[in-house]
């Protein structure tokens, strides 16, 4: 089995913090999710997470005007230059201080970064290779407090910077004689956004208290005069703004000495002047609502503002006409972006993890996604591997499509944490257990909760299992130490299994027999026979508390994770232990910032909490209270590969050693209430909180893996972590992996066999060379009518390889009938031999089933749509023939009524 698994997608989290951006064509949203960046394609309804990650959570993203580059900056000021075309990191840079915003100029030649009270202008990286991609051009000082936002004029001549000191500054990007800097006041709160009007120096500024100022300039953009005569020589790297006498030079920064008014006119050049033409207020009288985000679309003159209460407004400027107002959430809107055409508006709510794209003209959602509010607790793959169901601490059950990476249904019936989710063997029913004392069954056809299983006395269910037939549902309680069994058909409680002396931590049904294995904190594994009046068939003693139990796919082995960090393997038939793996050293737990003991000591209390066998049963996947996921070889009982699921230092428990510089005589600086002034809250989680903090404070979550599952196709595995649902898959591109290679196996010899119409030998040679493009070329050259003959003459060893290749081709090929014919003939002619090796080829068959099912779903929808359209057309044509006499009848009736009304008028006149 191959282990070249690579991070492929992040599900379950769509937005955390930072600013949203649209792609150049306006069809995709670029959203920062923790320390990664996700791209949501709104036209094709797919999501993709870029294979890049920063060391802390991302705070701002700047995208170049041509859409090819992005600058990603994290909380510490570490920046990555990323190519959005190749998805590769091109350059690393560190600004050494937190950065509030990044903006490229519209011509793509410069970009401005604001950090603290400085605006730094850099030369944008070009298409040629450079030793240093970030070259500092100018530094602009002026604001007294942190800078918050940036906006450029359309021709990249000037830019404006908003600040927390309630002022807005306009700076010249070049050495203009009549505009070096200009300071604008007029606000009573932090500036949230500043926007230039189209092809003009006129400016709009928006502040947090809901005030909008409209500023008019007395000069057009063409009226800016370039400074020709530069005074005495300046030292290199000195700021462009020090041309003005009111500035003080110096490497540490230049400060305007208390003069917020415009610079004096010099050399007969009249300086640019601004005047406030009007001021508008968003808040009605008696209502106060903080304005938190703003965006402006210049061609349509539309201003979008988001508020702390989850309301957003659309106004037309400069008249300030309200077009539209809507509440999209009950939480603060953290970021707003408008696409290039101005039709779609993206909103990000960081506390809820929501990302919405709203089409304001039709007043409808283009895209609406939300992750779990807190940590995910468990996940389950559907039998065909197309869907993943997740249960969260917020009580929601969400179902994700693995192809698109998006959630398509959310069930909110549970009133407390969901502890476990699983699919039945049919794949159309999801079962979930919760701490609210219910097990619920959800139907994926009609999207409803059709069964609710409860216990006679209220119990908190911590584990769940369903048998192969889908008829028996079992759940283990953590407070009453009992296991409850229900019938799926009737919903009735069949039996309560007692015997455990501690909370039941995990349940698993055997894939081949009606036997239920239960692990408990009482240091035993019990095997219950479902056919023989639910009696205990076997009790397996453990040396420590059992945390997780799972069967091998063939049912011949049982793996148990225990509290002492070991994984034990048992033979369920003989009740004998066959082996064990000591995995505590592989977990490598980190030290939390509030820990009084070292990581080495705290690792003694760490253990695996999630286990899952691979589809072939040769290896086992294990994860727990650490940032590592381990794959072990079961037969050799050794570590095969270790995956680090996150390198995000914004999580707790990531580093083995704490930074000594943060340790003082009074304790760790991590315990100091840092952001109380800004209203961001404390950095400490509540004592004893393991599953996420439900309070509204800001805290550092601990990195951990709560659940793991291999995909039934064997091509990928998924883990629910603090970061979200991470999917790792085999990256099969550009891998040369020949099989039984010889000197005469070349592309030339393969094509020669094709010309000679030796189809079977050409296929064998192509599979020996094992190049995907060549294999596809050979298969598609074989005539349709020759497929049964070729399938019959293939050597047995290549049948399985060809079946696997057909399954992957079928997933994205348009030659549907052709590849279906291959699959059908291979299964018909070699079915008996394949059945004997069914355990080893199960992933291949499931991959084939997944591809066929996907095509079936798509075609079924299309055929239904066409069928209804044809029926409608036929019904319409029949009605057209019927309609004429009905119309004539109506006309006659109208004539009659007219005649009668005329007669009645005449009669009334006669009477008068």
pLDDT digits (tens, 9 = 90+) for 775-828: 888 888 888 888 888 888 888 778 888 888 888 888 878 888 888 898 888 888
Task: Please report which residue ranges of 653-771 form alpha helices under DSSP H.
Answer: 747-755, 759-769
Per-residue tokens: 863:
């055929």
Mean pLDDT of 585-596: 79
Percent of the chain predicted with pLDDT > 90: 44
Q: Does residue 559 carry a pLDDT above 90?
A: yes
Residues 175-194 pLDDT 10s: 888 888 889 988 999 999 99
Contacts of 207 (CB under 8 A, 6+ apart): 166, 187, 188, 189, 190, 191, 192, 291
- Which helix (H) or strand (E) is 620 found in, with range? strand 619-624
Contacts of 189 (CB under 8 A, 6+ apart): 166, 207, 208, 209, 211
Tell me the average pLDDT of the chain.
Answer: 84
Task: Report pLDDT for 814.
Answer: 83
Task: Report pLDDT for 794.
Answer: 83
Q: Does residue 659 carry a pLDDT above 60?
A: yes
Residues 746-777 pLDDT 10s: 888 888 888 888 888 888 888 888 788 888 88
Residues 709-752 pLDDT 10s: 998 888 889 999 988 899 998 864 434 455 666 667 788 888 88
pTM: 0.79
Q: How many CB atoms lie within 10 A of CB 300?
A: 14
Task: Report pLDDT for 255.
Answer: 38
Q: How confident is the model at residue 672 (pLDDT cuts 50, 70, 90)?
A: low
Among 120-134, 241-255, 363-377, 582-596, the range with the most confident prediction by mean pLDDT is 363-377
User: Which of 605-609, 624-628, 656-660 shows the lowest mean pLDDT across its residues?
Assistant: 656-660
Task: Report pLDDT for 568.
Answer: 94
Q: Does residue 250 carry a pLDDT above 50?
A: no
Cα–Cα distance for residue pair 756/382, rounded to 1 Å? 45
Closest CA to 593 of 646, 644, 645, 655: 655
Q: What is the DSSP letter of 292?
A: E
Task: Report pLDDT for 261.
Answer: 60
Per-residue tokens: 66:
């041509």
Task: Report pLDDT for 352.
Answer: 84
Residues 522-556 pLDDT 10s: 999 999 988 877 777 889 999 999 999 999 998 99
Helix (H/G/I), strand (E/B), else coil: 800? helix
The answer to whether residues 286 and 277 touch, using CB atoms and an 8 Å cutoff, is no
Q: What is the DSSP string of 369-382?
A: EE--SS-EEEEEE-
User: Which of 271-285, 405-419, 836-850 shows the lowest mean pLDDT across its residues?
Assistant: 836-850
Q: Does residue 892 carry a pLDDT above 80?
A: no
Q: What is the dihedral of CA 448, 451, 455, 457, to 10 degrees?
A: 50
Task: Report pLDDT for 287.
Answer: 64
Task: Report pLDDT for 492.
Answer: 93
Task: Report pLDDT for 681.
Answer: 39
Cα–Cα distance for residue pair 382/846, rounded to 1 Å? 11
Q: Does residue 602 carry a pLDDT above 70?
A: yes
Closest CA to 723 of 652, 656, 659: 652
Task: Output b/e per residue, 680-694; b: 16+ Cβ within 10 A.
Answer: eebbbbeeeeebbbe
Q: How confident is the model at residue 690 (pLDDT cuts 50, 70, 90)?
A: low
Residues 505-531 pLDDT 10s: 999 999 998 899 999 999 999 999 888
Contacts of 609 (CB under 8 A, 6+ apart): 547, 548, 561, 623, 624, 625, 705, 706
Identify the residue with better confidence: 871 or 352.
871
Contacts of 746 (CB under 8 A, 6+ apart): 769
Identify the residue with better confidence: 193 or 910.
193
Task: Report pLDDT for 233.
Answer: 36
Residue that has been written with the tokens 């192809």 in this structure: 403
Percent of the chain predicted with pLDDT > 70: 86
Mean pLDDT of 608-634: 91
Task: Report pLDDT for 152.
Answer: 94
Angle at 434 between CA 430 and CA 436, to 5 degrees: 135
Q: Does residue 684 carry a pLDDT above 60?
A: no
User: Which of 301-315, 630-644, 652-666 shows the lowest mean pLDDT across its residues?
Assistant: 652-666
Residue 9 φ then ψ, to 5°: -160, 155
């Amino acid at each position: 089995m191959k282990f070249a698994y690579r991070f492929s997608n992040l599900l379950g989290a769509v937005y955390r913090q930072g600013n949203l951006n649209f792609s150049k064509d306006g069809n995709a949203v670029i959203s920062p999710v923790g320390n990664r960046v996700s791209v949501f394609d709104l036209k094709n309804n797919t999501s993709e997470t870029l294979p890049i990650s920063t060391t802390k959570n991302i705070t701002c993203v700047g995208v170049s005007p041509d859409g090819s580059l992005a600058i990603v900056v994290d909380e510490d000021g570490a920046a990555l230059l990323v190519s959005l075309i190749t998805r590769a990191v091109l350059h690393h840079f560190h600004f050494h201080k937190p950065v509030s915003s990044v903006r490229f100029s519209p011509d793509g030649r410069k970009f401005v970064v604001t950090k603290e009270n400085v605006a730094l202008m850099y030369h944008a990286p070009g298409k040629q290779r450079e030793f240093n991609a970030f070259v500092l051009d100018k530094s602009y000082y002026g604001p007294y407090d942190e800078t918050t936002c940036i906006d450029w004029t359309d021709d990249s001549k000037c830019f404006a910077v908003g600040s927390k000191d309630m002022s807005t500054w306009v700076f010249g990007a070049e050495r203009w004689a009549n505009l070096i800097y200009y300071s604008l006041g007029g606000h009573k709160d932090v500036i949230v956004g500043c926007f230039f009007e189209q092809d003009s120096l006129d400016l709009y500024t928006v502040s947090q208290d809901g005030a909008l100022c409209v500023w008019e300039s007395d000069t057009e953009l063409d009226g800016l005069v370039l400074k020709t005569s530069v005074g005495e020589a300046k030292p290199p790297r000195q700021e462009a703004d020090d041309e003005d006498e009111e500035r003080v030079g110096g490497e540490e920064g230049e400060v305007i000495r208390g003069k917020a008014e415009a610079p004096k006119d010099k050399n007969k050049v009249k300086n640019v002047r601004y005047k406030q033409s009007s001021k508008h207020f968003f808040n009605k009288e008696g209502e106060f609502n903080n304005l938190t985000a703003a965006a402006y679309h210049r061609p349509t003159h539309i201003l979008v503002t988001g508020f702390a209460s989850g309301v957003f407004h659309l106004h037309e400027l400069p008249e300030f006409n309200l077009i539209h107002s809507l509440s999209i959430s009950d939480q603060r809107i953290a970021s707003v972006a408008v696409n290039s055409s101005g039709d779609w508006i993206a909103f990000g709510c960081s506390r809820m993890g929501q990302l919405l794209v709203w089409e304001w003209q039709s007043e409808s959602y283009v895209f609406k996604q939300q992750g779990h509010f807190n940590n995910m607790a468990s996940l389950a793959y559907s039998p065909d591997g197309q869907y993943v169901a997740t249960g969260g601490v917020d009580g929601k059950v969400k179902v994700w499509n693995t192809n698109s990476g998006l959630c398509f249904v959310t069930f909110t019936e549970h009133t407390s944490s969901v502890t476990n989710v699983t699919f039945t063997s049919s794949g159309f029913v999801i079962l979930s257990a919760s701490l609210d004392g219910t097990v619920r069954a959800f139907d994926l056809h009609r999207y409803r909760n059709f069964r609710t299983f409860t216990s006679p006395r209220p119990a908190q269910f911590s584990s769940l299992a369903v048998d192969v037939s889908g008829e028996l549902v079992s759940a283990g309680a953590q407070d009453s130490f009992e296991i409850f069994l229900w019938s799926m058909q009737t919903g009735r409680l069949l039996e309560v299994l007692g015997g455990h002396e501690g909370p039941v931590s995990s349940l698993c049904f055997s894939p081949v027999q009606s036997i239920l294995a239960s692990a408990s904190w009482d240091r035993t594994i019990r095997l219950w026979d479902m056919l023989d009046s639910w009696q205990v068939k076997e009790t397996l003693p453990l040396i420590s508390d059992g945390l997780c139990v799972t069967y091998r796919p063939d049912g011949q082995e049982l793996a148990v994770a225990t509290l002492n960090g070991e994984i034990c393997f048992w033979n369920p038939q003989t009740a004998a232990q066959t082996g064990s793996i000591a995995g505590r050293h592989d977990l490598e737990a980190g030290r939390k910032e509030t820990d009084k003991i070292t990581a080495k000591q705290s690792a003694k209390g760490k253990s695996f909490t999630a286990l899952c066998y691979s589809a072939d049963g040769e290896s086992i996947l294990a994860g727990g209270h650490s940032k590592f996921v381990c794959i072990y070889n079961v037969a050799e009982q050794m570590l095969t590969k270790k995956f680090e699921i996150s390198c995000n230092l914004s999580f707790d428990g990531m580093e083995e050693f704490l930074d000594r510089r943060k340790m003082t005589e009074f304790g760790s600086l991590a315990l100091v209430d840092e952001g109380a002034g800004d209203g961001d809250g404390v950095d400490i989680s509540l004592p004893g909180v393991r599953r996420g903090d439900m309070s509204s404070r800001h805290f550092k979550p601990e990195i951990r893996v709560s659940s793991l599952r291999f995909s039934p196709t064997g091509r990928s595995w998924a883990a629910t972590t603090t970061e979200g649902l991470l999917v790792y898959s085999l990256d099969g591109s550009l891998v040369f992996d020949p099989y039984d290679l010889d000197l005469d196996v070349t592309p030339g010899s393969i094509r020669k066999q094709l010309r000679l119409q030796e189809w079977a030998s050409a296929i064998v040679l192509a599979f020996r060379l094992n190049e995907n493009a060549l294999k596809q070329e050979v298969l598609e050259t074989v005539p349709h009518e020759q497929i049964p003959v070729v399938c019959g003459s293939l050597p047995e060893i290549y049948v399985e390889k060809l079946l696997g290749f057909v399954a992957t081709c079928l997933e994205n090929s348009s030659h549907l009938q052709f590849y279906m014919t291959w699959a059908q003939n291979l299964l018909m002619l070699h079915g008996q031999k394949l059945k004997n090796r069914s355990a080893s080829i199960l992933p291949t068959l499931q991959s084939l089933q997944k591809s066929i099912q996907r095509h079936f779903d798509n075609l079924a929808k299309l055929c239904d749509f066409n069928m209804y359209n044809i029926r409608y057309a036929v019904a319409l044509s029949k009605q057209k023939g019927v309609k004429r006499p009905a119309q004539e009848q109506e006309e006659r009736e109208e004539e009659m009524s007219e005649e009668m009304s005329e007669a009645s008028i005449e009669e009334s006149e006669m009477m008068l």
